[in-house]
Amino acid sequence: MGFQITPAEYVDYLILAGEEIEKNGEYVTALDAKTGDGDHWVNLNSGFQKLIAMQKELKEMKLAPMLKKIGMTLMSAIGGSSGVLYGSGYLAASKALKEAEVLDIDTLYTFLQTELTAMMERGKAEPGWKTMIDSLYEAAKAYRAAKETGQGERQIIEAMKRGAEEGRDHTREMEAVKGRASYQANKGVGELDPGAVTMCMQLECLGDFILNHILFED
């Protein structure tokens, strides 16, 4: 049997991700001030701190209801377009995983792909548009490729992390299609997208949590 992430363990991951986001406040805010409104970190951090405060309640829930609660909380606590996108992603995942009890190698991919599709549809955005989607898209793509080529679970998770990082890094070369950066003369070229940076942080934390805290039986 491969890895299994229980709802309570997923909350443990959220806590780690929230801590990572919180400690990178100055970096993300400075980055966002160059290409956006400068409030991305404040809003996202507010959402994750709300989840951390709710950890006891969340840990007592089953997977699908927990994902729905996370989505509703992020939508209201983050606000703005990011809140809508994160909320939509988690709400869609809760529906797709309504029969699942844990996240394993298969259901985790379903989670990532469903979240990505929901964010793209709600945000009317595509990969390559210099948004948070770029990191998630490359992570899901790398996950699927590693899985389809028969790699082990550890290799699949490592591929997911690398994909997230590549998606983040590629935003430096992209021209923004939406948002404040799209109105700049250079359309944000030369700067990382802050949304892709914070999405990558979450995916890296998820990968590290699985690699370091969940047992593998490859």
Domain ranges for the chain: 7-213
Q: Give the pLDDT score at 186.
A: 67
In the block, residue with structure tokens 């259901």: 107
What is the C-alpha to C-alpha distance for residues 61 and 128, in angstroms, rounded to an integer?
36
Structure tokens at 98: 């309504």
**What is the pLDDT, as a whole number, of residue 19?**
97
Predicted pLDDT at 208? 96
| Weakly modelled stretches of the chain, pLDDT under 70 | 1, 178-187, 215-218
Residue 14 CA to residue 58 CA, distance in Å, equals: 11
Neighbouring-strand partners of residue 5 = 103
Quote the pLDDT of residue 156: 97
Check residue 217 and give its pLDDT.
43
- Rounded distance, CA 72 to CA 74, Å? 6
Write down the residue that tokens 């959220």 correspond to. Answer: 14
Q: Which CATH number fits domain 7-213: 3.30.390.10, 1.25.40.340, 1.20.1250.20, 3.40.50.2300?
A: 1.25.40.340
Q: CB within 8 A of 136, min separation 6: which ones? A: 112, 115, 116, 119, 164, 167, 199, 203
The reported pLDDT for the residue numbered 29 is 95
What does the pLDDT read at residue 176?
80
Q: What's CA 130's distance to the chain center, in Å?
A: 15
Token pair belonging to 62? 């089953």
pLDDT of residue 123: 92
Question: What single-letter amino acid sits at 28?
Answer: V
